[in-house]
Amino acid sequence: MKFDTPATTNPIDQLKVVGVSTSRIDGPLKTTGTAPYAYERHDVVPNQAYGYVVGAGIGKGRIASLSVAAAKAAPGVLAVVTADNAGKLGKGRLNIAKLLGGPEIDHYHQAVALVVAESFEQARAAAQLIRVEYERGEGRFDLAQAKAAMGDAADAKKEDSNVGDFAAAFAAAPVKLDETYRTPDQSHAMMEPHATVAAWEGDRLTVWTSNQMVDWTTGDLARTLGMPKEKVRLISPFVGGGFGGKLFLRADTLLAALGARAAGRPVKVALQRPLMMNNTTHRPATIQRIRIGATADGRITAIAHESWSGNLPDGKPENAVDQTRLLYAGANRLTGNRLAVLDLPEGNAMRAPGEAPGLMALEIAMDEMAERLGLDPVEFRIRNDTQVDPEKPERPFSKRQLVECLRVGAERFGWDKRNPRPGATRDGDWLVGIGMAAAFRNNLLTKSAARVRLDTRGVVTVETDMTDIGTGSYTIIAQTAAEMMGVGLDRVVVRLGDSSFPVSAGSGGQWGANNATAGVYAACVKLREAVAQRLGVNSADAQFADGQVRSGNRSVPLAQAAGGGELSAEDAIEYGDLGKRYQQSTFGGHFVEVAVDAATGETRVRRMLAVCAAGRILNPLSARSQVIGAMTMGVGAALMEELAVDTRSGFFVNHDLAGYEVPVHADIPHQEVIFLDETDPISSPMKAKGVGELGLCGVGAAVANAVYNATGVRVRDYPVTLDKLLDRLPPLA
């Protein structure tokens, strides 16, 4: 189905099932511990062996010698896989570093060997017997040092986005800001590790794994192993957290496949927690320079945002400037990302890549500029709203309710009671402050397909390779099929995460909900036509409700259409150039109250509010869950999360959940979420967008701005830890 014009009324608009708060249909499986996660797939294939990954002990260099004889001779060992015996490996389209290192080592904890044994304990013990001698190379591990070596010229580079004459406009602006902000390397730190069970049947490979993008990873695994894609099957029905870290083929999947081939039997591999930090992807650190020039009445005339981040040689920089291209008005604009080549583990997508760290800087800068102008921070943002793409004024936003989000949030949160004078509000020994930030995340349109079947019982089965990473995909897909076919949720079966199913949008980038359900919608439209044809009714007039198909005075049970045999339909949603004709984005406002201990600098978040405008909310219950989870992640980014880099040896020191701190229940206060009543008919037939990443964007800055309001201490280097506050706090009364 091609969708390239705004949607007219369709069956989804009935909102009998779609748009209704619905408990997750997979909830009983998760609460009873029976949801089949990758490493726990004991039932899928018998006689599974265990693999244990050995990671490189240097950050850059080469292997001088690698001795595996003692490991091979250890009890229970079935095989040892290294680059020497793995055979020729290709490179996946989406992978930057080699997943099996040797002799060259690209980064710390790059996999150099896999030991396969009868038990996990035997594999782990044998792995300790492998002896590796390294020749250390000269590594680049320090972003600030790499940035300094690149130079810090203010002139625009050819790859920058440059509109108008920023330099002249900034020079002429009566009020200016020029500040630098830093965000650290961060880990996805998902609870479920990267894990895979692999089994060969002749020349065919099946992997049960934890992965967000089934089709991407199936293709990359086939390319890496040098085999036809149709001979690889990937199954990933449940993912225990991903946040972008499981978008791509990783070492656990490749090594499980290689180990199974070497051992001649199925093998299961889970990455140890330290390897999840150093072996897999992470959010790269950034150094961001923001310059804003404005008139005395607060109209932005010049805005520039430049970001430096590191990655391996074939990698890309963190795209921290995109939101600045679209969020606020201003005739003269300069944005650009700079890549500093580093030999740290691969930097890649993490929840709201680009916007999350970019807004952590931009939204502090907007607060600082508002203060220089003597304007309220909410009013300053509203004053610089735009309804068109600032770089392409001929391109309107499909729907943009940023101003409404900010006004509703300010009213609900009690913004008018905020004391604008920093450090002026106390509650005993606590300094209390309120802060806010705008939220922004693009709506991406991606082709997505599904197959829908109707059986003689009137049960509708949906099959698509879409994944559920804890977001509620099973439920919103079931709601979509139920609405379209006029049945209850109890008459819908959803099967996900199998590469033998039609290719969906997958889970990532906040595009999953809208596109995947739109693909199911397209397949259901075809199935409705097939049902109408078999029943001999006019498909244009047919109404599907309560398990019946009605046309005129005639009403026929839906199941009767399958009386001559099961009916099946498959289709995909495609958008043409719709994404180019309209700028499609989601918007929000985050409001936060914090208290900072005047003696110790300890920061506690007291209240949080998110107001979101993100198209039709398909399931308010699971959407709220997504937003409060993202808000929690934002608190972590603001106050505690940081991968500490050993710039001498090139590794993340705190590579476990003891040293890498994330929020716990005691850190998170009451969280309120408001969804504006919005449909966006240009986004898809579902008129939805997404909220999973919008809920994170801006939270860090809202916390940092609240800390400033509480203490008068402006921290531009995340996380805002107490050591950055302690010696600058106002004296105790």
Residue-number span of the structural domain to which 494 is assigned: 11-35+446-574
In the chain, the percentage of residues whose pLDDT exceeds 90 is: 94
Q: pTM of this prediction? A: 0.97
146: pLDDT strictly greater than 80:
yes
422 and 472, same domain (yes or no): no
CA of 730: how far to CAs of 188, 471, 703, 717, in Å? 36, 43, 19, 20
99: pLDDT strictly greater than 90:
yes
Q: Which residue is it, tokens 């698509």? A: 464
- Report the C-alpha gap between 169 and 671 in whole angstroms: 41
**What is the mean predicted confidence (pLDDT) over 558-568?**
93
462 and 541, same domain (yes or no): yes
**211 near 192, Cβ under 8 Å?**
no
Q: Which has the closest alpha carbon to 221: 194, 253, 197? A: 253
Residue 650 resides in a domain: yes
Domain boundary among 574, 607, 625: 574
DSSP for residue 31: H
424 and 451, same domain (yes or no): no
- According to the model, what pLDDT value does residue 154 have? 46
Amino acid at 438: A
597 and 632, same domain (yes or no): yes
Q: Residues 6 or more apart from 136 whose CB is under 8 A from it? A: 58, 60, 61
- According to the model, what pLDDT value does residue 7 have? 67
Residue 418 resides in a domain: yes
438 and 453, same domain (yes or no): no
593 and 650, same domain (yes or no): yes
Q: Which residues pair with residue 238 across a beta bridge?
A: none
- Report the C-alpha gap between 658 and 641 in whole angstroms: 12
**693 near 355, Cβ under 8 Å?**
yes
Candidate from 3-17, 424-438, 439-453 with smallest mean pLDDT: 3-17
Domain boundary among 508, 541, 574: 574
How would you classify the pairing of strands 300-311 and 286-294? Answer: antiparallel
Helices assigned H by DSSP within 199-333: 214-225, 251-263, 273-278, 322-326
713: pLDDT strictly greater than 80:
yes
Residue 522 resides in a domain: yes
> End-to-end CA distance of the chain, in Å?
68
33: left (phi over 0), alpha (psi -120 to 50) or beta: left
463 and 438, same domain (yes or no): no
292-345 residue pLDDT tens: 999 999 999 999 999 999 999 999 999 999 999 999 999 999 999 999 999 999
724 and 589, same domain (yes or no): yes
Q: Which residues are catalytic?
A: 693
Six token digits for residue 534: 């078999």
**What is the mean predicted confidence (pLDDT) over 411-416?**
98
453 and 429, same domain (yes or no): no
421 and 482, same domain (yes or no): no
- Report the C-alpha gap between 668 and 665 in whole angstroms: 6
Residue 125 resides in a domain: no
CA of 49: how far to CAs of 120, 213, 264, in Å? 8, 26, 10
Residue 106 resides in a domain: no
511: pLDDT strictly greater than 90:
yes
Residue 637 resides in a domain: yes
CATH number of the domain that residue 633 is part of = 3.30.365.10
- Report the C-alpha gap between 566 and 492 in whole angstroms: 15
474: pLDDT strictly greater than 50:
yes
Tally of domains in the chain: 2
Residue 40 resides in a domain: no
Considering the chain, what is the average pLDDT of its residues?
96
Residue 570 resides in a domain: yes
pLDDT band at 156 (very low <50, low <70, confident <90, very high): low
**730 near 712, Cβ under 8 Å?**
yes
Give the total residue count for the chain: 733
Domain boundary among 574, 598, 618: 574
249-289 residue pLDDT tens: 999 999 999 999 999 999 999 999 999 999 999 999 999 99
What is the Cα 172 distance to its own chain's centre?
40
451 and 507, same domain (yes or no): yes
724 and 593, same domain (yes or no): yes
